[in-house]
Structure 1
């Protein structure tokens, strides 16, 4: 597995990964993917964020296939953290996380999908408040100190 910085040329692959994982792990027939979310992860929308100095984008690759993505905003907010389901429990998320630990600010937050809460707890995050539902998305705010 290789972990590397993402580039604007990765936008299509990152978009596809986030969309596929979201549909499989975060949304359902009862709670479908809202259009605003699908629009927000389109390649042309992601490209300027990938190029921005306010974000750190890492991707994991296995034999040329992107298996995961981790994005930090301003060093203290996990914006995107997705691993393709066929690579779950194979160390991809942990490898991505270990790459960012040295650059984390003292306190970091995430709006975790309900699917990922237990994973974030294993990384040391604690739930903050109750589960929220906003614009068609359920999430749990979580915080950790490093």
Structure 2
């Protein structure tokens, strides 16, 4: 696919497609393939929960499209914490996550000027976040059925 990535703000009506995309990559961060123990996380990526994030004032939620296909989603909470950054498996390793992150970071820096960004990265995505300049702040964690690496990036505007 040779199309350009189109980034736009998410709308509440996008929540079903966003939840579907996130569910397609959930296996990358679950502690067990069955998802046992991750019920609260799975509820947090339901269509209803996603609609709540999209409409919340403290979230900047964006979507990435190639043509009409939703290929990525990203959300920044409080202009500081990457809450979601997921790319459809068919589109991994094409720079989509980087473009979504750069968009969110740019908007946050315009708003706040400088700051520290955090993310709880999946083990799978930690090398990507390292390429973005994030550094681990502790050893990998395993909580509530989810495996993640707490990471941080300090940026000057």
Return the alpha-carbon distance in structure 1 between the equivalents of residues 136 and 149 of structure 2: 7
Name the structure 2 match of 1:118.
Answer: 127
C-alpha displacement of 1:31? 4.6
Work out the number of aligned pairs and report it.
144
Q: Does 1:32 align with 2:34?
A: yes
Name the structure 2 match of 1:67.
Answer: 71
What does 1:78-89 correspond to in 2, within 5 Å? Answer: 78-89=82-93
What CA deviation, in whole Å up to 9, does each residue of 1:90-110 have, x standing for no partner? 121111112122214510100
Matched residue of 1:115: which SS?
Answer: coil
Q: Which runs of 5+ in 2 are unaligned?
A: none
Q: TM-score if structure 2 supplies the norm length? A: 0.86
Name the structure 2 match of 1:77.
Answer: 81
Contact between 1:69 and 1:80, CA under 8 Å: does it hold in 2? Answer: yes
What CA deviation, in whole Å up to 9, does each residue of 1:101-131 have, x standing for no partner? 2214510100111000000000000001111
Runs of 4+ aligned residues of structure 1 deviating over 6 Å after TM superposition are none
Give the one of 3, 6, 23 matched to 1:2. Answer: 6
Q: Does 1:107 align with 2:116?
A: yes
Return the alpha-carbon distance in structure 1 between the equivalents of residues 142 and 34 of structure 2: 13
Matched residue of 1:37: which SS?
Answer: helix
Matched residue of 1:9: which SS?
Answer: helix
Name the structure 2 match of 1:14.
Answer: 18
Q: TM-score if structure 1 supplies the norm length? A: 0.92
C-alpha displacement of 1:40? 1.4
Contact between 2:30 and 2:145, CA under 8 Å: does it hold in 1? Answer: no
